Amino acid sequence: MNILDIPAQAWVGQIMIGLINGSFYAMLSIGLAVIFGLLNIANFAHGVFYMMGAFGAWMLGNHLGLGYWPSLLLAPLAVGIVGALIERLFLSRVYHLDHTYSMLLTFGVTLMIESLYRNAYGTSGMPYDAPALLQGGTRMGAIFMPNYRLWVVLASLLMCLLTWFFIERTRLGSYLRAATENATMTRALGINVPRLLTITYGCGVGLAALSGVLAVPVYGANPAMGSDLLIVVFAVVVIGGMGSIFGSIVTGFLVGLIEGLTKVLWPEASNTVVFVLMIIVLLAKPAGLFGESH
């Protein structure tokens, strides 16, 4: 295919789609990076919390009559509390064991919760309308950007930067990092380490749920939506560097754009390009683009 023969509309359209997908990759991957970097857990349940956020917004709207804007706060809060309970009741008991145990535990949580939602709502998915304030579109030069999708990109970028700032530049963030580096010394300073770890896990899955609320007007609510996305998000985290929040942000948006452009140049490879990129990065820099070698 001659690149010059591809119409400009195709490039613009796929760049827009890439930005949207990259927004969700970045939001989900920073939640994974926070949990892995601070708790040293590969959270295979992350995708199901994303799905729960989407269904949370749908249920709040259909059963309680609450709109999109209250759902942005209430759904992530509810899912974050569920995540904190799972951490306290189950994950806290396997911290001292091999990583395989936490992986199997979170994978089991995924299968259980996803099955519950599939039995309750089926597999066809539930539609959810964008809020009236964000319907329509905005012309930006040659680009016509739907308002809701523009909101998703901006909101995702803002949340990513706020998360990075909180972890890297605040006192509580320094406590969290200290607790993971040397829990005994942190306890000696009078800091409640188990509570910090519970809060961290709850906030990490809350970020996943917030991604789900942002995604539901675009993709609808489907029990399998988290599982379908999780493998790509794990690849994004590996490319950026396991535990690197800044790396997850940059790589999330970058992978989304690369996927979008690949759909123009070579559509058949668009679903595998992220994994090819992951292999290349691991061969060249095993710690990831922004990870630290140990």
Dist. CA 51–CA 238, nearest whole Å: 22
State residue 288's pLDDT score.
86
User: What phi and psi, each to the nearest 5 degrees, are found at residue 132?
Assistant: -60, -35
How is 141-201 classified by DSSP, letter by letter?
A: TTEEEEHHHHHHHHHHHHHHHHHHHHHHHSHHHHHHHHHHH-HHHHHHTT--HHHHHHHHH
Q: Are 148 and 218 in contact (CB under 8 A)?
A: yes
Locate 229 and state its tokens. 């996305």
Dist. CA 196–CA 181, nearest whole Å: 13
> For the chain, what percent of residues have pLDDT higher than 70?
92
0.75 surpassed by pTM = yes
Compute the Cα dihedral for 159, 202, 289, 180 and give only its sign.
Answer: positive
Using alpha carbons only, give the angle 27, 30, 36 rounded to the nearest 5 degrees.
145
Note the pLDDT tens digit of each residue in 38-63. 777 888 999 999 999 999 999 999 99
Note the pLDDT tens digit of each residue in 67-92. 999 999 999 999 999 999 999 999 98
Closest listed residue to residue 34, CA positions, set 87, 112, 70: 87
> Which residues of the chain have a pLDDT value below 70?
1-11, 140-143, 180-183, 293-294
